[in-house]
Each structure stands twice: as C-alpha cells, then as structure tokens.
C-alpha cells in the first residue's frame, strides 16, 4: 500500500513529505494507522546527526497513537480496530530481560530495531525501489506503519489520539522515572534539571507521589510558570546564582533525596549527582548526551553513598504499564493537555522542530 510520511533523507536536512510504499505485515506483525504523533527531542537529536545509531534515509517518530488496520499470521493479542500506542521499548514477556523483572529493556528485537529494520532484517518502507529505514521500531511520522505485535500497547478506545500519543514517550519517560525507576517516596526532596517535555512530567510524577520540595532548574525563565502549575515548589535559574550544587544543598538540609537529569548535558549530570544527599541520594539520568560523551565525578561521591542511575522509557514495561497510564489520564490523575502547546499538519512537521529549537513548545503534535 501507499502511505504519506515525512522522510529524513540526511542528517541536518529538513524532512520532506513523500508518498511511500509500505509492505504489509508479516508473521507476528501488525499494520497500524497512526492518527497522531508527538515530536520529541530525541527525533531532533537523531535528525541533527548527533545520534550514533542514526540511519538515513529513514522515517523518524516514536510518540504515536493509532488503530490496528490488519494483522499478520500468528498475531494473537491484537485485532483490527484495536487502539494502540507503538512502543520503542517492546515487551515480549519471554526474553531473559523481560523474565528477570529487573529491567524494562526487552531485547527480543533489539539488534534489528537498532539497524532500522523489522525482526526479519528487512524494511517494510520503500520509495522508488529504494528501501527506507525504520526508526526506533516505530516510525510514527508515517500515516501507516508496520510494527511487531510485541511493540504495541493496546489502550482503551475512548482515549483521544492527539493527547495519549504523548504517552508513547515523554509522559511515560518522566512520570515512569519517578514511579517505576526511582520509586520516590512521599515527603522526599526532588530536583529536576531541565523543564522541557520530559522534566515537566518528572515534576508531575513527583507531585503524584507526594514529594516534599520539588526544585526545578532551567536556563529558560519561561519554563517556571508551567513547572509551578505542575507542582514545582522552587525554581533555580543557573544564570542567576553562583553555584547550583551549593544552593540546592542549602535548600534541602544537606542535599536532595532524588535528582533527575532531563537535558542530556554531561556537566549538568555531575551537578545532579553532587547535589544529592550524602549516604542515600540517588541521581537518575534521563537525558541522552551526544555521541561519545562521558560523565565524571570524584569517586568519593559514590563511596559516600550517592547512587548514579539511568532510566529508559521511565522503566515502564510498555504493554503492561502504558494502558494504565492512559487510564490515569482519562481519570484526570495526570495532565497532558497543557503540555501539548502546538498542533500541526504533517506538511508543517519541520515547523515543530523549529519551535522546539527556539524553546517555544513543550510538545508539538502532528495530526494525520
């Protein structure tokens, strides 16, 4: 079949809208009509050329929601008409990683997904006979996609696609890092570095669990207002103070219980660790730094009880946890609407990247 899609031909170049050929689902695969997709910082990171796994030409996008149109042989858990969110972190429930119950990083299709291919090591997308690569196993900048069954979360049918698509990455990454990775307890002091599409969801998660002080740190003063609406109790602009770490240590009687780095800046990652409390502070890295970047601190920071950790997709097991997060949204327990600052047509997708670069959007959502 044919599908409209935004194609990334080369790093650093705008996407172009094309009518692309899409081969149907093979065994264990599902054809999905994408109704809406968010534009995440990680799409920009890959398009910019900074992502070592970035492959071109490809169809980017990993924050979508849509409807099952067709299923390939052997698909048991989904059928035509089901509403779904594609998962860049699948959940096969059979691999060593899934069975460990210690991680959400299912490895069932990791190697082919990382090479921009479906599990049989081929692409379903092509244009004029040239294969186009998949991206993060999802490619939600295409109106129709083919995805393995294990990479789809079935969600309730009354959930609006143009809102819950954001659960496909940003919402789950932020809220999940608090609930599933850190398991922040009520009363704990939390610091969030970077108040964008991820950091605001960390704040929202911290408020949900009844955190004590929720301190936000951002260079952009425009971020303060919305962060306060989401539960931030204190704001720090690093441009306005001499030492971010000392300031936080003073504000929290010795250091934060938890910190979250939601930028991808290795210098900030160090501050995020060092502002946590001696003996028990935990710092969670969410931001993705540029290729080849390294982090550093004095080992004594760890000897004296601080822990450096990371979180991918908020530690969420997609098929299990994403439907629950959709329920939280539908029950009014989490706010997504205020974070979706712009809605765009596919033709205007490059404007979504410009809004992000200028710091004017939290989330732009493309409606098909």
The contact set with ligand NAD (CB under 6 A) reads 40-42, 45, 169, 173, 193-199, 217-220, 223, 238, 262-265, 268, 286-288, 311-313, 359
- Residue closest to 219 by CA, chosen among 204, 233, 201, 236: 236
List the single partner that 197 binds among ligand NAD, ligand DAO, Zn ion, none, CB under 5 to 8 Å by kind. ligand NAD
* Paired tokens of 360: 């004017």
Closest by CA to 276, choosing from 368, 198, 190, 185, is 190
The C-alpha angle with vertex 90 and arms to 86 and 95, in degrees rounded to 5, equals: 160
For ligand NAD, the closer CB: 69 or 256: 256
Span near Zn ion by CB under 5 A; candidates 52-60, 167-175, 247-255, 267-275: 167-175
Nearest approach, Cβ of residue 289 and ligand NAD (Å): 7
Binding site partner of 35, from Zn ion, ligand DAO, ligand NAD, none, Cβ cut-off 5-8 A by kind: none
> Which two structure tokens, joined as six digits, stand for 3?
């599908």
DSSP-based three-state secondary structure for 184:
coil
Question: In residues, how long is the chain?
Answer: 368
Q: Given candidates 67, 92, 105, 295, which one binds ligand DAO under the rule CB under 6 A?
A: 105
Instruction: Identify whether the C-beta of residue 3 lies closer than 8 Å to the C-beta of residue 19.
Output: yes
108, interface contact from ligand DAO, Zn ion, ligand NAD, none, CB < 5-8 Å by kind = Zn ion
Strands 144-148 and 282-285: unpaired
Asked if 89 and 313 count as a contact pair (C-beta separation under 8 A), the reply is: yes
User: Could you say whether residue 50 binds ligand DAO (CB under 6 A)?
Assistant: no
If contact means CB under 5 to 8 A according to the sort of partner, which of ligand DAO, ligand NAD, Zn ion, none does residue 110 touch? Answer: ligand DAO
Q: Which of positions 269-288 make contact with ligand DAO (CB under 6 A)?
A: 288
> Strands 29-39 and 144-148, how do they pair?
antiparallel
Site for ligand DAO (CB under 6 A): how many residues?
A: 11
Q: Which stretch binds ligand DAO (CB under 6 A): 102-110, 127-135, 232-240, 261-269?
A: 102-110
Strands (E) in the chain, as ranges, are 2-7, 16-22, 29-39, 64-71, 83-86, 125-127, 130-132, 144-148, 152-155, 190-193, 214-217, 234-236, 258-261, 282-285, 307-310, 340-345, 363-367
**Would you call 131 helix, strand, or coil by DSSP?**
strand
Q: Which of 15, 40, 164, 340 binds Zn ion (CB under 5 A)?
A: 40
| Identity of the residue, 42 or 233, whose beta carbon is nearer to ligand NAD in the bound complex | 42
Is residue 347 classed exposed, middle or buried when 0-12, 13-18 and 19+ CB atoms within 10 A define those classes?
exposed
Task: Provide the annotated active-site residues.
Answer: 40-42, 62-63, 92, 95, 98, 106, 110, 169, 363
| Alpha carbon distances (Å) from 38 to 79, 165, 166, 339, 358 | 24, 6, 6, 11, 17
108 binds Zn ion (CB under 5 A): yes
To Zn ion, the closest distance from the beta carbon of 94 in angstroms equals 6
What is the pattern of x (binds ligand DAO, CB under 6 A) and - over residues 107-136? x--x--------------------------
Smallest distance, Å, CB 187 to ligand NAD? Answer: 26
92 binds, among Zn ion, ligand NAD, ligand DAO, none (CB under 5 to 8 A by kind): Zn ion
Binding site for ligand DAO (CB under 6 A): 40, 42, 62, 89, 105, 107, 110, 169, 288, 312-313
């Amino acid at each position: 079949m044919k599908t409209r899609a935004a194609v990334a031909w080369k790093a650093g170049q705008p996407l172009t809208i094309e009518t692309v050929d899409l081969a149907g689902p093979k065994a264990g695969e599902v054809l999905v009509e994408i109704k809406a997709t968010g534009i995440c910082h990680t799409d920009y990171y890959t398009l910019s050329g900074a992502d070592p796994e970035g492959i071109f030409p490809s169809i980017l996008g990993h924050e979508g929601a849509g409807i099952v149109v067709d299923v390939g042989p052997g698909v048991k858990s989904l059928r035509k008409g089901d509403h779904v969110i594609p998962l860049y972190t699948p959940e096969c429930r059979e691999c060593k990683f899934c069975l460990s119950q210690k991680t959400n990083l299912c490895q069932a299709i990791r190697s082919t997904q990382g090479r921009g291919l479906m599990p049989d090591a081929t692409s379903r997308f092509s244009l004029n006979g040239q294969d186009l690569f998949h991206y993060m196993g999802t490619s939600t900048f295409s109106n129709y996609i083919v995805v393995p069954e294990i990479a789809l979360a079935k969600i309730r049918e009354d959930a609006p696609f143009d809102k819950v698509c954001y659960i496909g990455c940003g919402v789950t990454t932020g809220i999940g890092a608090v609930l599933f990775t850190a398991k922040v307890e009520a009363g704990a002091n939390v610091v969030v570095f970077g108040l964008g599409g991820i950091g605001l969801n960390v704040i929202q998660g911290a408020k949900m669990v009844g955190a004590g002080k929720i301190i936000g740190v951002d260079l952009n003063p425009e971020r303060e207002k919305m962060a306060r609406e989401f539960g931030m109790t204190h704001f720090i602009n690093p441009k306005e103070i001499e030492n971010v770490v000392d300031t936080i240590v003073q504000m929290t009687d010795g250091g934060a219980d938890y910190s979250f780095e939601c930028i991808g800046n290795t210098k900030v990652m160090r501050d995020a660790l060092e502002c946590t409390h001696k003996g028990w502070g935990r710092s969670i890295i969410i931001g993705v730094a540029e290729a080849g970047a390294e982090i550093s601190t004095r080992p004594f920071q760890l000897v004296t009880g601080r822990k450096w950790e990371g979180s991918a997709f908020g530690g969420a097991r997609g098929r299990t946890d994403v439907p629950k997060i959709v329920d939280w949204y539908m029950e009014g327990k989490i706010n997504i609407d205020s974070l979706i600052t712009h809605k765009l047509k596919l033709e205007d997708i490059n404007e979504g990247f410009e809004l992000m670069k200028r710091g004017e959007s939290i989330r732009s959502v493309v409606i098909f």
